[in-house]
Amino acid sequence: MIDNDPCPRLTLWDSQDAPPDDGSPVYGWNGHAETGSVHSLLRYAEQHGEQLRRKYLAWVHDVGAYTVDGTRLIDHLALEDGLSYWWMTLLVEQSPWKSPAIVDAIRVLAFEEIVLDRRPAVVTLVSRNRALHEVVRGLCRGLGIAYEWKRAPGRPWRRMNAGQAYRAWPYSVRALIGLARQLWMQRPFTRLGRPSWSGGERSVFFCSYFDNIDSTSAGQGRFLSYYWDGLPDLMRRAGRCTNWLQIFVPDPVAPDGDAASRLARGFNRTTHEQETHGFVESYLGWRGVRRVLVRWLRLVVFSWRLRAVRRAFCPQGSHLSLWPIMRQDWLNSMRGPAALRSLVWIELFDAALRDLPHQKQGVYLQENQAWERALIYAWRKHGHGRLVGVAHSTVRFWDLRYFADPRTARPSGPHALPRPDVTILNGEAARHSYCAVDRPDEVIVACEALRYGYLNRARAERQRAPRPAGAPRIVALGDMLEASTVRLLRMLQAAAPLMPVETVFAIKSHPNHAVSARDYPDLNLEVVTDQLETALQDGDVACACNTTSAAVDAYLAGVPVVVILDDTTLNFSPLRDWPDVRFVSAFEELAEALQTVRLGPTLTPDAHAFFDLDPGLPRWSRLLAT
């Protein structure tokens, strides 16, 4: 609760040094802990999440609708065949992993609310972040509040590494380097060639990532992806022909393009034409590259002509300008690697779906990424049938990819947002989160959770009872982001001296980020290579990153879960609002929580309250039969 009395000074603290606790209100830019007069901006954002999310989504819509020379930005960015490039930008994609500045924007929107409520005479910023300085200075100027900027102490100078040197180059140079790298990486798929797709009334099209593949099945020439667990077998039994347009993602089973191509050839040989696998990357020829470059040059020119668009970065009714914070995402989308990647997606899917015989039904993994807009547009352009998007994982509160302002979701104008005909949600939790934002005219259907079907088996095998006191086994759940996994293990390493000396720590890392026990000698760390289902069986407690969806697997398998919050970002855990889950931000809290929940009452969460888990997949059968 914020004190509504005016205060003489309000400080925003963005420094590694400890803020002063002298009675005047201080809001920490980072961190979740609060003491005395020192408050957490991230905690405020969590407490007021609904209104802050709504404000941000409304602002993104307003940027697209902003008119320059009498024409909406959406229409300015229309390509020659009708698709607006606006829907491919980082601003619309709203991925917090591709655009970390989204969290900064949420924080400054929160800080504006605090300033309006506190009505300080002076606002002080302690930070080395010039973009944040420009935003807060503009806010204070608009509100007529005195402002001072105190530069926080800097880090010792270090020689620039390769990644920092690359990011220092102009966007256009980085874009061309990225395109050259992509062309080099796709050579194995070019050699693989284009498959002979199936057509006819009984064929079904799937677009999926080529990772999360079962290694045992792959060795037998049989395709089994954990994204679609059970569905390929359902299609085979029904005698349906399936066309799988795959997007390559490095995976332990297929770490590079050559390995992925070999697997695809093996799948195609053993399925006797009932199942066809190809890669979208095989559809980019030199003519396509030329079209991509021409479109990119036009975007670069547009980005200079549309410089007035920065005025749209002021949310309606606000004194803020988000331009200093979101500028990099805009420029990357218009000139940089993100621009060329998006244009390549448009070219790839246009060529692939032109080559595909008419498909009555199509299904794809829905995460609302840029490539999906290209897929949807090309699917309709080439006259295919019903298209179904599958929200295959959890729908997290702050994962803004799954949310849009209702005005954006409502089709309007010649360049409306490309959307699937049907959106599949995998259970009540996803429906509750997804439908928290108004979605006019969207067709939403519930189907079984393909990725989580094994939970029926896991819960039956784990008859959870209170564990006896003694050596606990902590299973750490890594994330696809290396930095998140490193932060998790370092926090455990700091907490380990406060735990029983015989404590065993195991890490189930993400397939895309392997962990070496040698890097954490103080942890008595065991690296688990089994499937998550097996790794959780003997665990007393699961300790999860702030962002991993694996926390849900542990929780629903009956394993107590402790989630480590990241001091630099919001709570992205899919268990954010669920009971019986501990969230901690300090190693002392972590040590206490791990020992407390291990000896706590038996967990009996209802997996069916989270996911639809009928192993027979009756809803999928009905959906694909129509």
pLDDT, position 4: 61
Minimum mean pLDDT among 213-217, 425-429, 452-456: which range?
452-456
pLDDT, position 284: 92
pLDDT, position 2: 56
Contact 457, 478 (CB under 8 A): no
Does residue 558 register a pLDDT over 50?
A: yes
* 374 occurs within a structural domain: yes
DSSP string, 173-238: HHHHHHHHHHHHHTHHHHHH-------STTEEEEEEEE-SB-HHHHHTT---BGGGTTHHHHHHHT
* 38 occurs within a structural domain: yes
pLDDT, position 115: 97
Tokens of 475: 């299973």
Q: Do 349 and 411 belong to one domain?
A: yes
Minimum mean pLDDT among 112-126, 184-198, 346-360, 429-443: which range?
429-443
* 64 occurs within a structural domain: yes
> What's the average model confidence in pLDDT over 36-53?
96
Q: Do 320 and 402 belong to one domain?
A: no
Q: Do 247 and 365 belong to one domain?
A: yes
Q: Do 109 and 25 belong to one domain?
A: yes
> What's the average model confidence in pLDDT over 538-549?
89
pLDDT, position 287: 94
Cα-Cα-Cα-Cα dihedral sign, residues 515, 516, 522, 526 = positive
pLDDT band at 55 (very low <50, low <70, confident <90, very high): very high
pLDDT tens readout for residues 150-178: 998 866 666 667 777 777 888 999 999 99
Give me the CATH number covering residue 394.
Answer: 3.40.50
What percentage of the chain exceeds 70 in pLDDT? 94
**∠ CA 415-410-397, rounded to 5°:** 115
Q: Do 69 and 167 belong to one domain?
A: yes
* 120 occurs within a structural domain: yes
* 458 occurs within a structural domain: no
CA distance 590 to 594: 6
* 460 occurs within a structural domain: no
Q: Do 169 and 76 belong to one domain?
A: yes
pLDDT band at 479 (very low <50, low <70, confident <90, very high): confident
pLDDT, position 521: 85
Three-state SS at 153: coil
Q: Do 80 and 173 belong to one domain?
A: yes
Q: Do 4 and 35 belong to one domain?
A: yes
pLDDT, position 599: 65
Q: 10 Å Cβ neighbour count for 626?
A: 7
Cα-Cα-Cα-Cα dihedral sign, residues 567, 532, 430, 223 = positive
pLDDT, position 63: 97
Tracing tokens 């029926």 back to the chain, one arrives at 456
pLDDT tens readout for residues 311-349: 999 999 999 999 999 999 999 999 999 999 999 999 999
pLDDT, position 461: 57
Share in percent of the chain as helix, strand, coil (round to 5): 45, 15, 40
pLDDT, position 465: 44
Three-state SS at 542: strand
pLDDT, position 605: 74
Total domain count for the chain? Answer: 3
Q: Do 18 and 106 belong to one domain?
A: yes
* 225 occurs within a structural domain: yes
Does residue 467 register a pLDDT over 60?
A: no
Tracing tokens 């009452």 back to the chain, one arrives at 601
The model's pTM = 0.93
CA distance 15 to 154: 9
pLDDT band at 1 (very low <50, low <70, confident <90, very high): very low
Q: Do 201 and 82 belong to one domain?
A: no
Q: In terms of C-beta distances under 8 Å and separation of at least 24 residues, what long-range contacts does 507-510 make, across chains too?
A: 507/475, 507/476, 507/478, 508/475, 508/476, 508/477, 508/478, 508/532, 508/535, 508/536, 508/550, 509/478, 509/485, 510/478, 510/479, 510/480, 510/485, 510/548
Q: Do 238 and 372 belong to one domain?
A: yes
Q: Which domain holds residue 61?
A: 1-186+284-337
Nearest to 206 by CA among 392, 431, 347, 381: 392
Q: Which residues pair with 68 in a beta bridge?
A: 71
DSSP type of residue 152: P
pLDDT, position 290: 96
pLDDT tens readout for residues 371-429: 999 999 999 999 999 999 999 988 999 999 999 999 998 876 789 999 999 999 999 88
Kindly tell me the number of DSSP H helices and DSSP E strands found in the chain.
24, 20
Question: Which residues lie closer than 8 Å to 200 by C-beta, 6 or more apart?
Answer: 241, 357
* 457 occurs within a structural domain: no
Does residue 58 register a pLDDT over 90?
A: yes
Does residue 534 register a pLDDT over 50?
A: yes
Rounded to the nearest integer, the mean pLDDT of the chain is: 90
Minimum mean pLDDT among 195-209, 339-353, 422-436, 589-603: which range?
589-603
Give me the CATH number covering residue 481.
Answer: 3.40.50.2000
Q: Do 394 and 444 belong to one domain?
A: yes
